[in-house]
Chain A
């Protein structure tokens, strides 16, 4: 008797594969929603922004499918070990991706307002941050689907770049508003968009941690310290 990669019951493999396929599809969707939201902002493309908002339902449908599939596998197969971790991680990653798509839709919604106003300088940094986060999300989904813990950890480490960008963007927007109070409306929207994008970075980090758990069975105990300094902005010593 020897162990193989496949389950003796073939339909079990099939069901687990379906979960990964659905996650790949959902990840791809969430990723393109985020990319499109950034693009709508960059190109002042309100039609694209509107499309992002309309397409949010597709991501929700994916999540629903994954939820149902997970419950099914739990009820019928009683998964253990790596199978159990696959099922639990699918559920949690799907939840994270649903949030990612929500943040993308929220960015798109605000860009409808932003696009009607005079362009402001902090947009450039915002777009840079948006592209970085899109890249990290892309990277972490690949790591997850390829069961690559190393790559996932690399993504997790890079979340610091996002936090640094966010903190400096926060200062930049504050300064800009102080210098020209007429930009307060547009800058407030940019502030929220930046927050949305920063949250997507956190979800990418979560998926990275999930990937590590999925592959190794160990959870990352040392919680990554939050080094976003924006909460202290404007505080006096």
Chain B
């Protein structure tokens, strides 16, 4: 099914690499053996119809599927060449610090806004001094485009924010620990166009230091923010290539049908 004529760009440095990744939820197979490379410093967009396995794949990249009892993952995923699964695999807690995640549904902790953002740095013992931590929290909220709205109520509950604000809070929480890779699962689905533009600008900025994988249902967003795009369909990667190519001349009929809105 996969189109082999346009796999990896030869010059691409690989940050993460998936080979033959299969995921089952109980008896149901959700991914059929995914081969996909994530380029260092790239924004890679994952697109595809609902239920095709984008979230499932994203969660494989930082072992989030470990937290789902029915989920079984096989195959290989590497980070900087190191295997993350198996007996020699990376420690999940450390892995998740290096590979952060912003979820499809905003999920702030039932804590204050400040503590939500400070949570990661604290558990990893990153910033001992209060003023250092204050600075990290401030910068993370600033970059996530939320600072102006919350600077006067940092001690209020994160769950008391609007949906879009909660999502930006979760972005701030994810970047506060300065991960190497950030996984974003439809980070803008609850955001208005201004907040969306801010997040996209943030993605552009983050790209200088981080590698980003983003799931999005907005074709325009995928086209705007990513350098590479992978099209998922029924648990397979049908096509992956430079974003520009995918959106001007996709090689596969299914990709074309999906991005042009011809799916029946």
Number of interface residues of A (CB under 8 A): 21
Determine whether the beta carbon of B247 is less than 8 Å from that of A5.
no
As a 0/1 sequence over residues 6 to 26 of chain A, the CB contacts with chain B under 8 angstroms (1 = contact) are: 111100100000000000000
B262 engages A5 (CB within 8 Å): yes
Which one of A4, A5, A80 contacts B248 once the chains associate, using CB atoms below 8 Å? A80
Closest 3 CB pairs of A and B: A217-B249, A3-B257, A4-B264
Q: Which single residue of chain B is at the shortest CB-CB distance from A79?
A: B260
Using A78-B220, A80-B219, A80-B223 as known contacts, say yes or no to A218 and B260 having CB atoms under 8 A apart. Answer: no
Q: How many residues of B contact A (CB 8 A)?
A: 20
Complex CA–CA separation, A37 to B249 (angstroms): 39
- Sample 24 A-B pairs with CB under 8 A, ordered by A number: A1-B263, A2-B264, A3-B254, A3-B257, A3-B258, A3-B264, A4-B257, A4-B262, A4-B263, A4-B264, A6-B262, A7-B262, A8-B263, A78-B220, A79-B260, A80-B219, A80-B248, A81-B248, A81-B249, A81-B259, A84-B247, A85-B249, A217-B249, A218-B249
Contact pattern, A 72-114, Cβ under 8 Å of B = 1, otherwise 0: 0000001111111100000000000000000000000000000
* Cβ–Cβ < 8 Å partners of A2 in chain B: 263-264
* Interface-central residue, A6, A80, A85, by most chain B CB under 10 Å: A80
A1 to B49, CA, bound (A): 9
Most buried by A among B219, B255, B262: B262
When distances are taken between beta carbons in the complex, the residues of chain A under 8 Å from B220 are 78
> Cβ of B130: which chain A residues have Cβ within 8 Å of it?
none
- Taken together as a complex, chains A and B put the C-alpha atoms of A84 and B49 apart, in Å, by 21
Cβ-defined contact, B261 with A82, below 8 A: no
Taking the closest CB of chain A, its distance from the CB of B193, in whole angstroms, is 14
For A1, list chain B residues within 8 Å (CB).
49, 263-264
Instruction: Give the residues in chain B near A9, CB-CB below 8 Å.
Output: 261
Chain B 214-252 interface residues, beta-carbon cutoff 8 Å to A: 219-220, 223, 247-250
Q: How far is the CB of B175 from chain A (nearest CB, A)?
A: 29
- Report whether A3 and B247 are in contact in the complex, using a CB–CB cutoff of 8 Å: no
Task: Give chain A residues whose Cβ lies under 8 Å from the Cβ of B250.
Answer: 81, 217
Compute how far the CA of A127 lies from the CA of B263 in the bound complex, rounded to whole angstroms: 51
Contact A7 B260 (CB under 8 A): yes
A8 contacts B262, C-beta separation under 8 Å: yes
In the complex, besides A2-B264, A81-B250, A81-B259, 13 extra interface pairs with C-beta distance below 8 angstroms are A1-B49, A2-B263, A3-B253, A3-B263, A4-B262, A4-B263, A8-B261, A9-B261, A12-B261, A79-B260, A81-B249, A216-B249, A217-B248
B249 neighbours in A (Cβ, 8 Å): 81, 85, 216-218
Q: Nearest-CB distance from B18 to chain A (Å)?
A: 24
Chain A nearest CB, measured from B161 CB (Å) = 31
- Residue of B with least CB distance to A9: B261
Inter-chain CA distance A2–B264, complex, in Å, is 5
